[in-house]
Amino acid sequence: MDSSNQKLQMDELGRMDETTFNSSPKIPVTVVLDNIRSGHNVGAFFRTADAFRLEQIHLCGYTPQPPNKEIRKSALGATETVAWTHKASTIESVKALKDQGYTVFAIEQTTNSQTLEGFSFAGSKIALVFGNEVRGVEQEVIDLCDGSIEIEQRGTKHSINVSVCGGIVLWECFKQLKFNLD
């Protein structure tokens, strides 16, 4: 057995504690969840936002909010480190973010969407709207956004689970913007 590639133990990972995390710089990206049904999906977004040190999450409409058993199960404590707020509607959230100087993109397949590959997140504060597991981002919300981004797909479904989609898009954000954390 080759001992040169050993799995790291938790105490070897050099993770920061919650206090340090909360006072650390964040990547200027806000996630907006547009009427997500599943608490498990919401919890996955919290965990991803923590992993990539994103600014905040807006939970909109009937999207579950902490404390919630399903969120807690998949977030693994990230609801304690990632800032979040609830808005009655996604439209309210998008308008508020735009008033605060955010550029807002729907993560959706539209007639004018840009592919994630080659998209630049550099420049200003970004908000990314992820839609309902069945209906996607509502058209009224898309109309308020500054643009839309889609993940290129070649299969038959043209659909990826919303939390998986979030992981893919937010990883790309992190790759491009992690210099903000130094």
Q: pLDDT tens digit string along 102-130?
A: 999 999 999 999 999 989 999 889 999 99
pTM exceeds 0.85: yes
CB proximity list for 171: less than 8 A, separation 6 or greater: 52
What pLDDT was estimated at residue 124? 85
pLDDT band at 1 (very low <50, low <70, confident <90, very high): low
**Burial (CB count within 10 angstroms: exposed 0-12, middle 13-18, buried 19+), residue 172:** middle
Q: Are 62 and 35 in contact (CB under 8 A)?
A: yes
The mean per-residue pLDDT over the stretch 9-29 comes to: 92
DSSP at 119: -
The mean per-residue pLDDT over the stretch 89-95 comes to: 98
What pLDDT was estimated at residue 181? 83
Q: Domain map of the chain by residue range?
A: 24-149+159-181
Q: State yes or no: pLDDT of 24 exceeds 60.
A: yes
In angstroms, rounded to a whole number, what is the distance separating the alpha carbons of residues 69 and 86? Answer: 17
**Counts for the chain of helices (H) and strands (E), in that order:** 6, 7
What pLDDT was estimated at residue 131? 98
- pLDDT, tens digit (0-9, with 9 covering 90-100), for 130-153: 999 999 999 999 999 999 999 999
* Topology of the domain comprising 24-149+159-181: Alpha/beta knot (3.40.1280)
Instruction: Write phi, then psi, for 34 (nearest 5 degrees).
Output: -95, 95
Helix axes 39-51 and 162-177, enclosed angle (nearest 10): 10
3-state helix, strand, coil in the chain (%, to 5): 35, 20, 40
The mean per-residue pLDDT over the stretch 153-170 comes to: 94
Return the amino acid letter for 36.
I
